[in-house]
């Protein structure tokens, strides 16, 4: 009798509902990363219509397109069940975009990688540089110091190839970063740090036409 009861409970708990799969991330297709968005349609002297495209994601029912103007930080949002979406955006700016996969069956979402592009406005002699990509250290990681030093590395991009220097901001408060070094002509810089501390850093990119862009703020902890 006891054996039958045990088998009953095993059967009862093994017949629960199947787990709900989480939506997976899409792969971005267009506009291409670090590119001039030449496929955009002219709406007027100021605005352009941009079509964004991406691949289908497993277990996703809908997608949220998130686009940010990297110069004034304005954000544009749009939701769709399709694999493309068009937005009307002001020209003459650089933009960063990604797609968030969603499902009505679960609150879990999945974000794609983030791409950047430049959207032409009226003919201009100079483009704004893309915000620098912070490479080393990666965001929210722990680093091992060499002595008391660590080498920060980033990547700069500009359609005009006229970046002249970078400014490095560093601090222990993301809302209060200090200019650590200005007019850095390379894409790396060694900083002196304290052990067992959390730091935040940001790179400002400057070009020959005095245009500038701000990177994201990354954090890392020293061992």
Average confidence (pLDDT) over 32-58: 92
Residues 6+ apart with CB under 8 A from 10: none
DSSP state of 14: H
Q: For residue 8, what pLDDT band results from cuts at 50, 70 and 90? A: very low
Residue 22 lies inside a defined structural domain of this protein? no
Domain of 99, CATH number, reads 2.60.40.10
Percent of the chain residues past pLDDT 70, beyond the cut: 91
Same domain, 103 and 150: no
Q: Is the dihedral angle over the CA atoms 60, 63, 64, 65 positive or is it negative?
A: positive
Query: Dihedral of CA 40/49/125/182: which sign?
Result: negative
Rounded average pLDDT over 166-192 = 96
pLDDT digits (tens, 9 = 90+) for 96-132: 999 999 999 999 999 999 999 999 876 655 788 999 9
Confidence of residue 44 (pLDDT cuts 50, 70, 90): confident
d(C-alpha 105, C-alpha 82), whole Å: 18
Where does a domain end: 119, 153, 182? 119
**pLDDT tens-digit series, residues 133-177:** 999 999 999 999 989 999 999 999 998 899 999 999 999 999 999
Q: Which one of 119, 142, 166 terminates a domain?
A: 119
Largest CA distance in the chain: 88
Parent domain of 57: 28-119
Q: Is residue 146 part of a domain?
A: yes
DSSP 64-79: EEEEEETTT--EEEEE
Same domain? For 114 and 135 the reply is no
For the chain, how many structural domains are there in total? 2
Whether the model pTM is above 0.95: no
Listed residues 119, 151, 177: the one ending a domain: 119
């Amino acid at each position: 009798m006891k054996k039958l009861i045990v088998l009953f409970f095993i059967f009862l708990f093994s017949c629960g509902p199947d787990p709900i799969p989480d939506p997976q991330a899409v792969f971005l297709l267009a506009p291409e990363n670090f590119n001039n968005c030449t496929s955009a349609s002219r709406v007027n002297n100021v605005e352009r219509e941009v079509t964004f495209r991406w691949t289908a994601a497993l277990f996703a029912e809908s997608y949220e397109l998130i686009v940010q103007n990297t110069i004034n930080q304005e954000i544009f949002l749009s939701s769709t069940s399709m694999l493309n979406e068009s937005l009307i955006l002001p020209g003459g700016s650089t933009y960063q975009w990604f797609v968030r996969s969603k499902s009505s069956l679960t609150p879990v979402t999945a974000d794609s990688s983030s791409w950047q592009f430049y959207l032409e406005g009226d003919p201009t002699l100079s483009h704004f540089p893309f915000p620098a990509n912070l490479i080393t250290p990666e965001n929210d990681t722990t680093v091992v110091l060499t002595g008391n030093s660590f080498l920060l590395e980033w990547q700069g991009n500009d359609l005009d190839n006229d970046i002249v220097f970078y400014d490095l901001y560093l601090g222990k408060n993301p809302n209060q970063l200090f200019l650590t070094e200005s007019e850095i002509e390379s894409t790396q810089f060694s900083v002196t740090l304290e052990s067992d501390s959390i730091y935040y850093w940001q790179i400002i990119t400057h070009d020959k036409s005095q245009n500038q862009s701000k990177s994201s703020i990354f954090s890392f902890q020293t061992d």
